[in-house]
Amino acid sequence: MSGKGRFNQRCNLLVLLALILLLPLPARAGKMHRYEYVFPDNSIYVYDIDNRGALVKHVSVPTSTGVRGAVASAATGMLYISYGGNRIGGSLLKYNLMTDEVVWTRHYPFGVDSMSVSPDGNTIYMPTGEASTGGIWKVIDADSGDVTTSIDSRGIGPHNTVVSPDGSRAYLGPRYSNYLVVASTRTNHVIRKIGPVGGARGVRPFTINGAENLAFITVSGFLGFQVGNIGTGRILYTVPVRGFPTHGGAPSSPSHGISLSPDEREVYLIDSISHYVHVFDVTGLPESPPRQVADIRLRGSLSHNESPCAYNCVKYGWLHHSRDGRYVFVGDSGDVIDTRLRKTAMTLPAMANSRTQIEINFEDGAPLPTWAMNNRSSIGNRAPTVPSSAFSAAACTSPSN
């Protein structure tokens, strides 16, 4: 084959690869099945997102002492549920998603809370609980459940966690700290703090965008959220909810739930005072502040749980987008919002009394889940583009000889 022929063959292969990368995942392989996993105490409920939220199965698990968080790994096919004390006496359950079996449970002297797992599924970053007087996150081997080291956030009340999409950073939210903390997962040391935030007593639910230059942070005692510059650590904007009461609802955190859409165009925010979800256009960031563009009334109540109540007796709420951005799931109310219609499209009964839920996707014939949430918060993730190297001048320029 001539040099020009080899060149054309190489270029055609690169173009074919680029086209494959641009195709939606279901078009490249088997049929995709999307499920919402919901975790009330003692249970796992699985709902079919593509079949109007039909209940697929219910599994009993030994998490009777209060579920704190849940994560899953598509790399390993394992699901993890934290439960128990949020100061001392916390536990972690490992569950095989392919066999529907509990692999192990581990009990710890420290508390547990809303953790995150690394992209490779090997490491769990576990906050030691919002009621803890320290600021420690335990680094746990996901295979064995053993603690390998710790990260000291230097805050108080380790509560919520997000591991970055590339696994290089862990974002740590101490409840009683006025700073969102960023740690390196290579050194397990703090490398940056974002703040100080406003509000009464510190950082509550938060998320980040895909480029990791913006953080969206809710704070105690404030109906609204703040936008932080991750690179500089400065707060860029404080964004209140307009036109709604600012007192009442959840006693310490009326906006206990925030989600950034996968295309990073909108933020959805809980309002437990008025039982609404508010929508903000964030396309102007960082040059201009978010704009409140919609207010969606929830069917479910965010007032209180059914009586008697042993745990999570106050409904704070929580929410996340579906991977494709079509739906927003609202914990503690049960609503599933259609983001195109801006109204509730379906309700998931188990989610009416649980603020812990994640999406996990399966593909026909695949040995492991195709995709799973590695924490309870939706992280922004703009639609992937073809790598520039696929169409580089060097790759598709005719050879000189």
pLDDT, one tens digit per residue, over 88-132 is: 999 999 999 999 999 999 999 999 999 999 999 999 999 999 999
240, part of any domain: yes
DSSP notation for 215-256: EEEEETT-SEEEEEETTT--EEEEEEPPSS--SSSSSS-TT-
Model confidence at 17, pLDDT cuts 50, 70, 90, reads very low
Instruction: Say how many domains are in the chain.
Output: 1
Question: In angstroms, what CA-CA distances link 202 with 157, 194, 253, 327, 350?
Answer: 10, 12, 10, 29, 30
Residue 1 lies in a domain: no
260 inside domain: yes
Q: How far lies 257's CA from each of 20, 217, 224, 377, in Å?
A: 36, 9, 10, 9
Report yes or no on 331 lying in a domain.
yes
Domain extent for 58:
36-388
Share of the chain above pLDDT 90, in %: 80
Q: Residue 266: inside a domain, yes or no?
A: yes
In a domain, 301, yes or no: yes
Q: Mean pLDDT of all residues in the chain?
A: 88
Within a domain: 12: no
Residue 28 maps to a domain? no
Mean pLDDT along residues 277-282? 98
Buried b (16+ CB within 10 A) or exposed e, 298-325: bbbebeebeeeeeebebbbbbbbbbbeb
**Residue 136 sits in a domain of what CATH number?**
2.130.10.10
> What pLDDT, in 10s, does the model give residues 45-77?
999 999 999 999 999 999 988 999 999 999 999
Q: When comparing pLDDT for 2 and 152, which is higher?
A: 152
**Residue 248 confidence (pLDDT):** 73
pLDDT tens for each residue of 333-380: 999 999 999 999 999 999 998 999 999 999 998 999 999 999 999 999
